Amino acid sequence: MSTPESSGGFPVLGPAAGLVLLTGGRGRRMGAAKHELPHPGGRSWGGHGVAVFRTVFPEGPLRILGEPLPDHPGLPRVADPRQGPAAALRAWAAQEGGTPRRWWVAPCDQVRWTPAALAAWYRAAEAADPDGAAWVVAGPAQGPAQWLGGFLGQALLPALARSTASSLHALAADLACIRLDWPGPWWEDVDTPEARRSWEAEPRS
């Protein structure tokens, strides 16, 4: 891994991670596709995730899993089979040719991520899984885990592509997983109109 350099109060890391951004379904509950909704930061929801990732990993590869982003239409894209996130990840893994040590698998509706939070989460994942051989996710040892937003080790891609699991929980059972008790608002999916209104009403720094 390249040596972290300081930028804006948090480390900027090299190409040790890639981004797989799930752009989700058609967004009927939200009135529009979630990845296209406007973020207070001035981008789309999906564009916000890309900006956070690029700030921390300016050399890391990016993949859009689903529909293209309005503010980044040219990013490499993998078609979503529309059978849920587990099937989408299996489809991506079957054709991925990149070689970062791990992939940040993030949904477009985790809109609270910041570069500082992502850098800290990456350092925790790197410490727990230095070889990129596990899926590092947030959650207590006993209890529910948040599979999306975690770091998926590159070494797991062949097993991921072979899996026939139809849910994230079942998919995780097929793979080596490490849970880290890592609380924070970053993991909260904004996936209902009520959750969106609550998030938009939060104070901004």
The share of the chain scoring above pLDDT 70, in percent, equals 90
pLDDT at 27: 58
Spatial separation of the C-alpha atoms in residues 70 and 48, rounded to whole Å: 12
Domain assignment of residue 67, yes or no: yes
The residues that bridge with 102 in the sheet, in sequence order, are: 17, 153
Q: What is the pLDDT of residue 176?
A: 95
Radius of gyration for the chain, computed over Cα atoms and rounded to the nearest angstrom: 16
Residue 55 covered by a domain: yes
Beta bridge partners of 12: 5
Quick check: is 94 in a domain? yes
CA dihedral 168, 173, 178, 181 (to 10 degrees): 60
123 domain residue, yes or no: yes
For tokens 């937003």, what's the residue?
149
Average pLDDT, whole number, for the chain?
A: 88
- Residue 43 tokens, joined: 């981008």
Q: Give the range of the structural domain holding residue 123, as residue numbers without chain letter.
A: 12-200
79: CATH: 3.90.550.10
Number of domains in the chain: 1
pLDDT-derived band at 184 (thresholds 50, 70, 90) equals confident
Q: Please check whether residue 93 lies inside any domain of the structure.
A: yes
Cα–Cα distance, 15 to 100 (Å, whole number): 6
**Does residue 7 lie within any of the structural domains?**
no
17: pLDDT strictly greater than 70: yes
pTM of the model: 0.89
